[in-house]
Amino acid sequence: MTTVPVLGRLRSDAPLVAVELRPPRSDLSSSQSMDTWIDMYHSVRRLASGDTVLFLTDNAVGESEEENLRHLVANLAGDVPPGKLVPFITCKHPLEYCHMYADRATARGFQALTVLGGDHSVGPPRCVDHAYMLRQQIRARHPGLILGGWANPHRAADEQAAFLASENFTAEFYLTQIVSHHSTAAVERFLEATEKAGVSCPGVFGVFLYRSANPRTLARLGDFFPVPAEGITKDFERGLTAEDVCARTIRALHEAGADKVYVSNLGFKRPEVRYRKLLQALEIQ
Protein backbone atom coordinates (compact mmCIF):
# COMPACT_ATOMS: atom_id res chain seq x y z
CA MET A 1 0.00 0.00 0.00
CA THR A 2 1.48 3.34 -1.03
CA THR A 3 0.87 6.18 1.38
CA VAL A 4 0.81 9.88 0.60
CA PRO A 5 2.47 11.73 3.50
CA VAL A 6 -0.11 13.21 5.87
CA LEU A 7 0.72 16.83 5.18
CA GLY A 8 0.83 16.27 1.44
CA ARG A 9 -2.66 14.75 1.57
CA LEU A 10 -4.01 17.63 3.64
CA ARG A 11 -2.50 20.17 1.24
CA SER A 12 -3.70 18.43 -1.90
CA ASP A 13 -6.55 19.75 -4.02
CA ALA A 14 -8.53 16.52 -3.64
CA PRO A 15 -11.33 16.60 -1.04
CA LEU A 16 -10.76 14.43 2.03
CA VAL A 17 -13.21 12.63 4.30
CA ALA A 18 -11.04 11.62 7.25
CA VAL A 19 -12.19 9.64 10.29
CA GLU A 20 -11.95 10.28 14.01
CA LEU A 21 -11.98 7.13 16.15
CA ARG A 22 -12.08 6.73 19.92
CA PRO A 23 -10.06 4.08 21.79
CA PRO A 24 -11.93 2.03 24.41
CA ARG A 25 -12.70 3.64 27.75
CA SER A 26 -10.08 2.84 30.36
CA ASP A 27 -12.67 1.49 32.83
CA LEU A 28 -13.63 -1.50 30.67
CA SER A 29 -12.77 -5.00 31.81
CA SER A 30 -9.80 -6.70 30.19
CA SER A 31 -12.05 -8.87 28.02
CA GLN A 32 -14.22 -5.92 26.97
CA SER A 33 -11.15 -3.86 26.13
CA MET A 34 -9.64 -6.72 24.13
CA ASP A 35 -12.86 -7.25 22.19
CA THR A 36 -13.12 -3.55 21.37
CA TRP A 37 -9.51 -3.35 20.23
CA ILE A 38 -9.95 -6.45 18.05
CA ASP A 39 -12.93 -4.76 16.39
CA MET A 40 -10.92 -1.56 15.98
CA TYR A 41 -7.95 -3.46 14.56
CA HIS A 42 -10.05 -4.83 11.71
CA SER A 43 -11.84 -1.52 11.19
CA VAL A 44 -8.66 0.53 11.08
CA ARG A 45 -7.15 -1.85 8.52
CA ARG A 46 -10.22 -1.58 6.29
CA LEU A 47 -10.49 2.19 6.63
CA ALA A 48 -6.78 2.73 6.06
CA SER A 49 -6.94 0.81 2.79
CA GLY A 50 -8.86 3.72 1.26
CA ASP A 51 -8.05 7.36 0.61
CA THR A 52 -8.42 8.65 4.14
CA VAL A 53 -6.56 9.64 7.29
CA LEU A 54 -7.45 8.29 10.74
CA PHE A 55 -7.32 10.51 13.81
CA LEU A 56 -7.41 8.72 17.17
CA THR A 57 -8.61 10.66 20.20
CA ASP A 58 -7.12 11.10 23.65
CA ASN A 59 -9.70 11.18 26.46
CA ALA A 60 -12.48 12.53 24.25
CA VAL A 61 -15.43 14.32 25.91
CA GLY A 62 -13.72 14.06 29.26
CA GLU A 63 -13.83 10.26 29.46
CA SER A 64 -10.59 8.48 30.27
CA GLU A 65 -9.56 6.34 27.33
CA GLU A 66 -6.88 3.71 26.92
CA GLU A 67 -3.71 5.08 25.41
CA ASN A 68 -4.10 5.11 21.65
CA LEU A 69 -0.39 4.83 20.81
CA ARG A 70 0.30 1.67 22.82
CA HIS A 71 -2.42 -0.29 21.05
CA LEU A 72 -1.63 1.12 17.63
CA VAL A 73 1.96 -0.05 17.97
CA ALA A 74 1.09 -3.41 19.51
CA ASN A 75 -1.79 -4.36 17.23
CA LEU A 76 -1.23 -2.62 13.91
CA ALA A 77 2.54 -2.54 13.47
CA GLY A 78 3.34 -3.64 9.93
CA ASP A 79 -0.31 -3.82 8.87
CA VAL A 80 -1.17 -0.12 8.56
CA PRO A 81 1.37 2.51 7.46
CA PRO A 82 1.94 5.00 10.31
CA GLY A 83 1.39 7.77 7.77
CA LYS A 84 -2.31 6.89 7.72
CA LEU A 85 -2.69 7.38 11.48
CA VAL A 86 -2.59 10.65 13.44
CA PRO A 87 -2.93 10.17 17.21
CA PHE A 88 -4.15 12.95 19.49
CA ILE A 89 -2.27 13.97 22.62
CA THR A 90 -3.78 16.52 24.99
CA CYS A 91 -2.17 18.63 27.68
CA LYS A 92 -4.20 16.73 30.30
CA HIS A 93 -1.22 14.55 31.16
CA PRO A 94 2.03 15.17 33.06
CA LEU A 95 4.56 17.01 30.92
CA GLU A 96 7.07 14.15 31.11
CA TYR A 97 4.43 11.74 29.77
CA CYS A 98 3.68 14.08 26.84
CA HIS A 99 7.37 14.23 25.90
CA MET A 100 7.75 10.45 26.16
CA TYR A 101 4.62 10.02 24.05
CA ALA A 102 6.11 12.18 21.27
CA ASP A 103 9.41 10.29 21.57
CA ARG A 104 7.67 6.94 21.15
CA ALA A 105 5.49 8.14 18.27
CA THR A 106 8.55 9.41 16.40
CA ALA A 107 10.52 6.24 17.07
CA ARG A 108 7.65 4.14 15.67
CA GLY A 109 7.48 6.10 12.43
CA PHE A 110 4.37 8.20 12.97
CA GLN A 111 4.47 11.29 10.78
CA ALA A 112 2.12 13.53 12.73
CA LEU A 113 0.51 14.27 16.09
CA THR A 114 -2.47 16.45 16.84
CA VAL A 115 -1.64 18.34 20.05
CA LEU A 116 -4.67 19.81 21.83
CA GLY A 117 -5.28 21.59 25.10
CA GLY A 118 -8.08 19.43 26.45
CA ASP A 119 -11.28 20.50 28.18
CA HIS A 120 -10.59 22.75 31.17
CA SER A 121 -13.87 21.76 32.86
CA VAL A 122 -13.22 18.03 33.34
CA GLY A 123 -10.38 15.74 34.29
CA PRO A 124 -6.89 16.66 35.51
CA PRO A 125 -5.38 20.10 34.94
CA ARG A 126 -3.32 20.84 31.85
CA CYS A 127 0.43 20.48 32.14
CA VAL A 128 0.80 23.81 30.28
CA ASP A 129 -1.67 26.65 29.95
CA HIS A 130 -2.08 26.43 26.18
CA ALA A 131 -1.52 23.67 23.62
CA TYR A 132 0.86 25.76 21.52
CA MET A 133 3.29 25.72 24.46
CA LEU A 134 3.40 21.92 24.36
CA ARG A 135 3.72 21.96 20.58
CA GLN A 136 6.71 24.29 20.88
CA GLN A 137 8.41 21.91 23.29
CA ILE A 138 7.69 18.89 21.08
CA ARG A 139 8.95 20.79 18.02
CA ALA A 140 12.23 21.56 19.78
CA ARG A 141 12.60 17.83 20.55
CA HIS A 142 11.41 16.50 17.19
CA PRO A 143 11.82 19.10 14.43
CA GLY A 144 10.62 16.71 11.73
CA LEU A 145 7.34 15.73 13.38
CA ILE A 146 4.23 17.24 11.77
CA LEU A 147 2.03 18.87 14.39
CA GLY A 148 -1.64 19.70 14.32
CA GLY A 149 -3.53 22.30 16.36
CA TRP A 150 -7.13 23.35 16.94
CA ALA A 151 -9.55 26.11 15.99
CA ASN A 152 -13.18 26.84 16.76
CA PRO A 153 -15.29 28.43 13.98
CA HIS A 154 -18.07 29.10 16.49
CA ARG A 155 -15.93 31.68 18.30
CA ALA A 156 -14.89 35.14 17.13
CA ALA A 157 -13.53 34.54 13.62
CA ASP A 158 -10.85 37.25 13.67
CA GLU A 159 -9.53 36.03 17.03
CA GLN A 160 -9.34 32.41 15.85
CA ALA A 161 -7.64 33.44 12.61
CA ALA A 162 -5.08 35.47 14.57
CA PHE A 163 -4.25 32.40 16.67
CA LEU A 164 -3.70 30.33 13.52
CA ALA A 165 -1.62 33.02 11.83
CA SER A 166 0.64 33.59 14.85
CA GLU A 167 4.21 32.29 14.62
CA ASN A 168 3.62 30.81 18.07
CA PHE A 169 0.90 28.47 16.76
CA THR A 170 3.59 25.90 15.86
CA ALA A 171 1.52 23.58 13.69
CA GLU A 172 1.34 22.52 10.05
CA PHE A 173 -2.41 21.83 10.08
CA TYR A 174 -5.40 22.31 12.35
CA LEU A 175 -8.62 20.51 13.17
CA THR A 176 -11.80 22.37 14.03
CA GLN A 177 -14.65 22.04 16.46
CA ILE A 178 -17.71 20.19 15.14
CA VAL A 179 -19.72 22.24 12.62
CA SER A 180 -22.93 21.59 10.71
CA HIS A 181 -24.82 22.62 7.58
CA HIS A 182 -26.96 24.53 10.07
CA SER A 183 -23.93 26.67 11.01
CA THR A 184 -22.39 27.43 7.63
CA ALA A 185 -22.52 31.18 8.26
CA ALA A 186 -19.98 30.74 11.08
CA VAL A 187 -17.80 28.59 8.84
CA GLU A 188 -17.90 31.21 6.07
CA ARG A 189 -16.92 33.98 8.51
CA PHE A 190 -14.10 31.82 9.81
CA LEU A 191 -12.78 31.03 6.32
CA GLU A 192 -12.94 34.69 5.30
CA ALA A 193 -11.00 35.65 8.44
CA THR A 194 -8.31 33.00 7.88
CA GLU A 195 -7.83 34.13 4.28
CA LYS A 196 -7.58 37.76 5.35
CA ALA A 197 -5.04 36.84 8.07
CA GLY A 198 -2.92 34.88 5.59
CA VAL A 199 -3.33 31.50 7.29
CA SER A 200 -1.56 29.00 5.06
CA CYS A 201 -1.84 25.72 6.99
CA PRO A 202 -4.71 23.43 5.92
CA GLY A 203 -7.73 22.93 8.13
CA VAL A 204 -9.77 19.75 8.67
CA PHE A 205 -13.32 20.56 9.73
CA GLY A 206 -15.13 18.43 12.28
CA VAL A 207 -18.40 16.77 11.25
CA PHE A 208 -20.55 14.72 13.63
CA LEU A 209 -22.59 11.76 12.46
CA TYR A 210 -25.82 12.16 14.44
CA ARG A 211 -27.40 8.72 14.64
CA SER A 212 -30.79 10.05 15.73
CA ALA A 213 -32.53 13.18 16.99
CA ASN A 214 -33.05 11.82 20.49
CA PRO A 215 -33.52 14.99 22.62
CA ARG A 216 -31.57 13.63 25.60
CA THR A 217 -28.64 12.63 23.39
CA LEU A 218 -28.58 16.00 21.62
CA ALA A 219 -28.73 17.81 24.96
CA ARG A 220 -25.80 15.80 26.30
CA LEU A 221 -23.75 16.42 23.17
CA GLY A 222 -24.50 20.11 23.61
CA ASP A 223 -22.28 20.07 26.70
CA PHE A 224 -19.27 19.51 24.42
CA PHE A 225 -19.97 21.38 21.19
CA PRO A 226 -22.74 23.52 19.67
CA VAL A 227 -25.57 21.24 18.56
CA PRO A 228 -28.23 22.63 16.17
CA ALA A 229 -30.85 20.41 17.80
CA GLU A 230 -33.87 21.95 16.06
CA GLY A 231 -32.30 21.66 12.62
CA ILE A 232 -31.06 18.10 13.18
CA THR A 233 -34.50 17.08 14.45
CA LYS A 234 -36.16 18.49 11.33
CA ASP A 235 -33.64 16.66 9.14
CA PHE A 236 -34.64 13.31 10.64
CA GLU A 237 -38.34 14.20 10.55
CA ARG A 238 -37.96 14.64 6.77
CA GLY A 239 -36.89 11.00 6.60
CA LEU A 240 -33.16 11.53 6.11
CA THR A 241 -30.80 8.84 7.36
CA ALA A 242 -27.87 9.55 9.66
CA GLU A 243 -25.53 9.32 6.67
CA ASP A 244 -27.75 11.66 4.61
CA VAL A 245 -27.63 14.31 7.36
CA CYS A 246 -23.86 13.99 7.66
CA ALA A 247 -23.49 14.19 3.87
CA ARG A 248 -25.49 17.43 3.86
CA THR A 249 -22.96 18.98 6.21
CA ILE A 250 -20.01 17.83 4.11
CA ARG A 251 -21.58 19.21 0.92
CA ALA A 252 -22.32 22.52 2.64
CA LEU A 253 -18.71 22.74 3.80
CA HIS A 254 -17.46 22.06 0.28
CA GLU A 255 -19.68 24.84 -1.03
CA ALA A 256 -18.28 27.18 1.62
CA GLY A 257 -14.71 26.33 0.59
CA ALA A 258 -13.78 23.71 3.21
CA ASP A 259 -13.01 20.46 1.38
CA LYS A 260 -11.18 18.58 4.17
CA VAL A 261 -13.33 17.09 6.94
CA TYR A 262 -13.07 14.48 9.65
CA VAL A 263 -16.14 12.50 10.67
CA SER A 264 -16.75 11.77 14.34
CA ASN A 265 -19.10 9.27 16.01
CA LEU A 266 -18.86 6.40 13.56
CA GLY A 267 -18.92 4.10 16.59
CA PHE A 268 -16.84 1.21 17.89
CA LYS A 269 -18.54 -1.60 15.99
CA ARG A 270 -17.54 -1.68 12.33
CA PRO A 271 -17.21 2.08 11.75
CA GLU A 272 -16.05 1.30 8.22
CA VAL A 273 -19.63 0.23 7.37
CA ARG A 274 -21.03 3.63 8.35
CA TYR A 275 -18.13 5.32 6.56
CA ARG A 276 -18.89 3.39 3.36
CA LYS A 277 -22.58 4.36 3.60
CA LEU A 278 -21.54 7.99 4.05
CA LEU A 279 -19.36 7.89 0.94
CA GLN A 280 -22.29 6.36 -0.96
CA ALA A 281 -24.51 9.22 0.22
CA LEU A 282 -21.84 11.60 -1.05
CA GLU A 283 -21.64 9.57 -4.27
CA ILE A 284 -17.94 8.91 -3.68
CA GLN A 285 -16.76 5.45 -4.70
We report the CATH number of the domain holding residue 166 as: 3.20.20.220
Total structural domains in the chain?
1
pLDDT band, residue 1 (cuts 50/70/90): very low
Residue 176: what pLDDT?
Answer: 98
Residues 211 and 216: their CA atoms lie apart, in Å, by 13
Does the pLDDT of residue 55 top 90, yes or no?
Answer: yes
Residue ranges with strand state E in 85-192? 85-90, 112-116, 146-151, 173-179
**Predicted confidence (pLDDT) per residue in 210-234, tens digit:** 999 999 999 999 999 999 999 999 9
Length in residues, the chain: 285
Q: By residue range, what is the domain housing residue 259?
A: 6-281
Flag whether 75 is in a domain: yes
Flag whether 229 is in a domain: yes
Cα–Cα separations (whole angstroms), residue 266 to 26, 43, 95, 172, 278: 19, 11, 31, 26, 10
Flag whether 34 is in a domain: yes
Q: Which of 14-28, 55-69, 116-130, 200-214 has the lowest mean pLDDT?
A: 55-69
DSSP for 194-218? Answer: HHHHT--S-EEEEEE------HHHH
Flag whether 49 is in a domain: yes
Flag whether 236 is in a domain: yes
Residues 99 and 95: their CA atoms lie apart, in Å, by 6
Looking at residue 120, what DSSP letter applies? T
**Predicted confidence (pLDDT) per residue in 112-162, tens digit:** 999 999 887 777 899 999 999 999 999 999 999 999 999 999 999 999 999
Does the pLDDT of residue 188 top 50, yes or no?
Answer: yes
Percentage of residues of the chain with pLDDT beyond 70:
88
Count of Cβ atoms closer than 10 Å to residue 146 Cβ: 19
Flag whether 1 is in a domain: no
Flag whether 151 is in a domain: yes
Does the pLDDT of residue 80 top 50, yes or no?
Answer: yes
